[in-house]
Chains A and B, each alone.
Chain A
Amino acid sequence: MNGNAFSLSQLGTLIRGSAVYRSIVRHGAADTNRNRSLVIFENLFLHVHPVKVREKTLKFSHTYWLGGITVSAMVVLIATGILLMFYYHPSVPQAYRDMKELKFVVDNGVFYRNLHRWAAHLMVLGAMLHMARVFYHRAYRPPRQFNWVIGVVLLLVTLLLSYTGYLLPWDQLAFWGVSVGTNMAKEAPILGPPIRFLLLGGNIVSENALLRFYVLHCVLLPASLIGLLGVHIWRVRKDGGVQGPPEPPADDEVEP
């Protein structure tokens, strides 16, 4: 046993001493303020965060973690979505059949599909509640007005993702959902009919519509979502972190 532990610690030393390990863990343990800062500065994924956050600013009742929940749902959606893309063909004879294949043949297929669906519901709900929270906390006011605008666009993209995913199972619900939805778009003045034509790739809900919705759902909308989300989170930091900048006292609160 003793010898075993010895060889394990030896192995640990060997790994930690290797060039590959040292290229990844560049600063050693984050034991000093400088090292902690470097970990954040020199990491692509973490550098949008402030180097230091006070614990009280992370209080649950400040944000209800709604933005975080929404982003987590998005991560789940991307992971399960990629898995589902392995099995799904955006073509009329195959699309609905692939739903059946997921149910009957693919290992854990129903689980992935259901996870994708519930995560999508959660993301829409989270985004809306997040927005409501921001609104009631007056967190849209300067200097964060730009980030509010980004947020509104993000909500739209989220809703469009949800809607385009609705068609993909190619069942009756999907078919009529998209029929009704695109007919509503058609009623817009002047631009309506061309928008519907553009969305459907024709005048009826057919194979072209399925392909367009697939490309929108899997490429265009997620790409724009990730891009906008990057800006959104980056702006959060630039505008003073999750809690925002200290508010200047209102005029009537200024002591004479």
Chain B
Amino acid sequence: MPLRRIFAITSILFLAVLAVSPLKNALRPYRGFQRAFARLGASRAKSLQAAKAYQQQPVAIHQIWLPDFENRVDRCTTCHLGVQDAAMTGAPEPFRLHAATYHTPKDIGRFGCTACHGGQGLATLEKDAHGEVADAGSPMVPLPFIESGCGRCHAAEKVAGAATLSLGRAALERNGCYACHAVKGHEAFRSEAPPIEAVGLKTGAEALRRWLKDPKAVDPNATMPRFQLSQAEIEELANYVFSLAPGRALADKVQAAGAEPAGDVAKGKAIFAEARCISCHTLEGKGNGSAPELSKVASRASAGWLLAFIRDPHAFNPRTRMPQFNFSADEARHVVAYMESEFKDFDAPKEILDPLRVNQTLAEKGKVLFRQKGCYACHDPGAAADRFGPALDGIGDKRAASLDFGKRTDIARTLPAWLEAKVKAPGSFQDGLKMPTFALSPKEAQAVVTALLSLGARPVPQAYRSTPAVRASLLPGGAVGALMDKYRCLSCHQIGDRGGDISTAPLTAEGSKVKQDWLVNYLVLSTTIRPILTDRMPVFRMTREEAAQIAQAFETFYLDPRIPEDPYAGQPATSRDPVEGKRLYDTLGCRACHILGAGGGYYGPPLTEAGTRLKPGWTYAWLKGPQKWRADVRCPNYGLSDASALQLTAYLDTLVKSSTASKAKQGGTR
């Protein structure tokens, strides 16, 4: 009976084949990991009971389920068993305790793993979970870019505890990326590049050629990227720029300023220092660096233009961050005289600032080039309704398979590697790409990639989104708004989550913090508040009326309801006891950081005039928990009781400098 024998043999074979699957099931790798973890835990346990607890853990799949977050299921903790176990500090992977960050390890149960790390949360096999297989979507986010995860929920420009992400977002803004690329939330972005019509008034043909060749070589602080332009293209663009007709009023201004007699160099030097120009500009690399390097500026801009620009910068470029200084006619001439004598490129040819004799044919070609290269995106942002480049929304979730790697066979076929190559050398993928080169440092490139990876395709659910505590409107309307715009408060200060980062003092709640009289004096003649900082508030030569107007507006608009107007209300009379407050001041060791009278450290602001400057409500609110107001501040939270905090407040409120008022008045009349 051969048929029966075949039947018998195949049946047994079939049974054996069927047994393979249950066998594989029983030998799944995570089971081995869990047994190893139990052994490791038992060996590290401090007590017999703890050791037993490790050994008695049943072998099972662990998961973090987030029904309200896209129904995420993260099973990473099936193998990464020690992420929240303090006993697993420094243990070998996959059992190690999670690195300490603002949210980890305490919030792992709330956010899961894949929200930041990427990968495949559902998987229980290593390669699948880490996204190293074809059907996994995308591999895990490499650790240098891990802060992109913070940015998925935190939409603010600056995110505390995420330095790389914040740096990257700032770099995207500073380099004008949003001028060419649409990104949600940045629709209103306008580059501060000067309007192209007026450039011919400012500079000469040779200076412009050098600039177009490589802006960073001319000015290390330049935000304009380098376009790979041929000599012919540079010539065409230069001809186009000089063929444009600037406004009659501006041309007259520059011409008239150029005809004025030269000022006094020595006086100019003093005014230059006093106005604190290098709070924004640099001089031979020294200074803040968020505005142009000035050491060779007189070889890039004509004397007439410099003078006219300093007098009224917003007429030349309404988008510039430069505030208007109220120099008198003579003072401005002195400053320019100083610049003309010192801030020159002495190696440059004499005719560097000579204008170009325009060739119309070349100018026509330059006009076309100006559009083709996307120059208008920054220099004439109203010219087109759409952004020049592709939108970047959702780029953080783009599949590597949909990216064009072109000639770049040297990099990994992943989204982060592609983005990094793109921001470092945009033209390296193929010839004829339009994106220019931004001279990003490796650190900046890493930060920019982090910021780009944080732009997810789908918005994070509302419950997970972090919205800034105060979303103040930026500037009030009317005359005060115009004044604050004139002095460009937002170039340095933050209001809400917008504004510059040069100043450490946000204005969001300034009205609740400082006394109005002090603010008026400060605006008229700013004194140093924190001696440890190098960037100081410039002296604008504001009139007393203007200062009063701004201070009044702060008192009205920039308030925080969490800061009480009168902290003593409803408190016993003993809470106003400054003597007890002084005792607290001495015992808490405030003088380690604050100057008061003769001694004290200078890390924090001096408190000699605290009573003149600060409102008691703010002092009290600050003392109750400094970190509540600035997450990164080093001032310790002493956990003071209401009574103690009030007593200390009362003491600080008595610290008034008697001569302040008269001195400030003196400054105001200058």
Binding site for B on A (CB under 8 A): 93, 97, 100-101, 103-105, 107-108, 110-111, 171
With a cutoff of 8 Å between Cβ atoms, the chain A residues found around residue B25 in the complex are 107-108
Top 9 closest pairs, chain A to chain B, by CB:
A111-B21, A100-B122, A104-B124, A108-B21, A104-B123, A107-B25, A104-B122, A108-B25, A105-B61
Query: With an 8 A cutoff between CB atoms, is B555 at the interface?
Result: no
Is B22 within 8 A of A97, CB to CB? no
With a cutoff of 8 Å between Cβ atoms, the chain A residues found around residue B123 in the complex are 100, 103-104
Q: How far in angstroms is the closest Cβ of chain A from B342? A: 65
With a cutoff of 8 Å between Cβ atoms, the chain B residues found around residue A103 in the complex are 123, 128
Is B21 within 8 A of A104, CB to CB? no
Query: With an 8 A cutoff between CB atoms, is B441 at the interface?
Result: no
Q: How far in angstroms is the closest Cβ of chain A from B21? A: 4
Closest to A106 in B: B25
With a cutoff of 8 Å between Cβ atoms, the chain B residues found around residue A105 in the complex are 61, 75, 122, 124
Residues of chain B from 410 to 441 with CB closer than 8 A to chain A in the complex: none
Query: With an 8 A cutoff between CB atoms, is B71 at the interface?
Result: yes
Closest to A58 in B: B3
With a cutoff of 8 Å between Cβ atoms, the chain B residues found around residue A100 in the complex are 120, 122-123
With a cutoff of 8 Å between Cβ atoms, the chain A residues found around residue B172 in the complex are none
The count of residues in chain B whose C-beta lies closer than 8 Å to any C-beta of chain A is 13
Query: With an 8 A cutoff between CB atoms, is B125 at the interface?
Result: yes
Fill in one digit per residue for B58-86: 1 if any A CB lies within 8 Å of its CB, else 0.
00010000000001000100000000000
Is B125 within 8 A of A104, CB to CB? yes
Residues of chain B from 4 to 56 with CB closer than 8 A to chain A in the complex: 21-22, 25
**A101-B122 in contact given A108-B21, A108-B25 (Cβ < 8 Å):** yes
Q: How far in angstroms is the closest Cβ of chain A from B474? A: 40
Is B21 within 8 A of A97, CB to CB? no
Alpha-carbon separation in the docked complex, A163 to B125 (Å): 31
Alpha-carbon separation in the docked complex, A110 to B25 (Å): 10
With a cutoff of 8 Å between Cβ atoms, the chain A residues found around residue B71 in the complex are 93
With a cutoff of 8 Å between Cβ atoms, the chain A residues found around residue B128 in the complex are 103-104
SS class, residues of chain B in contact with chain A: loop
Is B75 within 8 A of A104, CB to CB? yes
SS class, residues of chain A in contact with chain B: helix
With a cutoff of 8 Å between Cβ atoms, the chain B residues found around residue A110 in the complex are 21
Closest to B63 in A: A105
Which of A93, A97, A108, A111 meets B122, CB within 8 Å? A97
Closest to A114 in B: B21
With a cutoff of 8 Å between Cβ atoms, the chain B residues found around residue A97 in the complex are 122
Binding site for A on B (CB under 8 A): 21-22, 25, 61, 71, 75, 120, 122-125, 128, 135
Closest to A111 in B: B21
Q: List 10 A-B contacts (CB under 8 A).
A: A93-B71, A100-B120, A100-B123, A104-B123, A104-B124, A104-B128, A105-B75, A105-B124, A107-B25, A110-B21
Q: Given known contacts A104-B122, A107-B25, what 4 new A-B pairs fall within 8 Å (CB)?
A: A103-B128, A104-B75, A105-B61, A108-B21
Q: How far in angstroms is the closest Cβ of chain B from A174? A: 13
Alpha-carbon separation in the docked complex, A108 to B27 (Å): 12
Q: How far in angstroms is the closest Cβ of chain B from A85? A: 19
Alpha-carbon separation in the docked complex, A111 to B24 (Å): 10
Closest to B122 in A: A100
Q: How far in angstroms is the closest Cβ of chain A from B527? A: 61
Alpha-carbon separation in the docked complex, A103 to B123 (Å): 8
Alpha-carbon separation in the docked complex, A104 to B75 (Å): 10
Alpha-carbon separation in the docked complex, A104 to B61 (Å): 10
Closest to B3 in A: A60
With a cutoff of 8 Å between Cβ atoms, the chain B residues found around residue A107 in the complex are 22, 25
Q: How far in angstroms is the closest Cβ of chain B from A98? A: 10
Q: How far in angstroms is the closest Cβ of chain A from B634? A: 47
Which of B22, B61, B124 meets A108, CB within 8 Å? B22
Alpha-carbon separation in the docked complex, A104 to B120 (Å): 11
With a cutoff of 8 Å between Cβ atoms, the chain A residues found around residue B124 in the complex are 104-105
With a cutoff of 8 Å between Cβ atoms, the chain A residues found around residue B135 in the complex are 171
Alpha-carbon separation in the docked complex, A108 to B25 (Å): 6
Closest to B120 in A: A100
Q: How far in angstroms is the closest Cβ of chain A from B6? A: 11
Alpha-carbon separation in the docked complex, A97 to B122 (Å): 8
Q: How far in angstroms is the closest Cβ of chain A from B401? A: 10
Closest to A115 in B: B21
With a cutoff of 8 Å between Cβ atoms, the chain A residues found around residue B122 in the complex are 97, 100-101, 104-105
Closest to A99 in B: B135
With a cutoff of 8 Å between Cβ atoms, the chain B residues found around residue A104 in the complex are 75, 122-125, 128
Closest to B70 in A: A93
Q: How far in angstroms is the closest Cβ of chain B from A116? A: 13
With a cutoff of 8 Å between Cβ atoms, the chain B residues found around residue A101 in the complex are 122
With a cutoff of 8 Å between Cβ atoms, the chain B residues found around residue A171 in the complex are 135
Closest to A93 in B: B71
Alpha-carbon separation in the docked complex, A12 to B21 (Å): 36
Q: How far in angstroms is the closest Cβ of chain A from B356? A: 56
Alpha-carbon separation in the docked complex, A100 to B131 (Å): 13
Alpha-carbon separation in the docked complex, A171 to B136 (Å): 12
Alpha-carbon separation in the docked complex, A105 to B25 (Å): 10
Alpha-carbon separation in the docked complex, A238 to B71 (Å): 57
Closest to B71 in A: A93
Alpha-carbon separation in the docked complex, A111 to B25 (Å): 10
With a cutoff of 8 Å between Cβ atoms, the chain A residues found around residue B61 in the complex are 105
Alpha-carbon separation in the docked complex, A97 to B123 (Å): 11
Closest to A110 in B: B21
Alpha-carbon separation in the docked complex, A108 to B128 (Å): 17
Q: How far in angstroms is the closest Cβ of chain B from A110? A: 8
With a cutoff of 8 Å between Cβ atoms, the chain A residues found around residue B22 in the complex are 107-108
Q: How far in angstroms is the closest Cβ of chain A from B241? A: 50
Q: How far in angstroms is the closest Cβ of chain A from B410? A: 29
With a cutoff of 8 Å between Cβ atoms, the chain A residues found around residue B75 in the complex are 104-105
Closest to A172 in B: B135
Alpha-carbon separation in the docked complex, A224 to B538 (Å): 86
Q: How far in angstroms is the closest Cβ of chain A from B77? A: 14
Q: How far in angstroms is the closest Cβ of chain A from B618? A: 49
Choose among A105, A110, A171 the residue with the greatest number of B CB atoms under 10 Å from its CB. Answer: A105
With a cutoff of 8 Å between Cβ atoms, the chain A residues found around residue B120 in the complex are 100
Q: How far in angstroms is the closest Cβ of chain B from A236? A: 22
Q: How far in angstroms is the closest Cβ of chain B from A20? A: 29
Alpha-carbon separation in the docked complex, A227 to B75 (Å): 44
Q: How far in angstroms is the closest Cβ of chain A from B321? A: 47
Closest to B128 in A: A104
Alpha-carbon separation in the docked complex, A101 to B75 (Å): 11
Alpha-carbon separation in the docked complex, A104 to B123 (Å): 5
Alpha-carbon separation in the docked complex, A17 to B16 (Å): 37
Q: How far in angstroms is the closest Cβ of chain A from B500? A: 43
Q: How far in angstroms is the closest Cβ of chain A from B501? A: 41
Choose among A97, A100, A101, A104 the residue with the greatest number of B CB atoms under 10 Å from its CB. Answer: A104
Closest to A60 in B: B3
Alpha-carbon separation in the docked complex, A105 to B75 (Å): 10
Alpha-carbon separation in the docked complex, A131 to B520 (Å): 98
Closest to B75 in A: A104
Alpha-carbon separation in the docked complex, A94 to B403 (Å): 28
With a cutoff of 8 Å between Cβ atoms, the chain B residues found around residue A108 in the complex are 21-22, 25
Alpha-carbon separation in the docked complex, A21 to B463 (Å): 64
Closest to B125 in A: A104
Q: How far in angstroms is the closest Cβ of chain A from B423? A: 29
Q: How far in angstroms is the closest Cβ of chain A from B23? A: 10
Alpha-carbon separation in the docked complex, A57 to B654 (Å): 116
Alpha-carbon separation in the docked complex, A193 to B485 (Å): 62
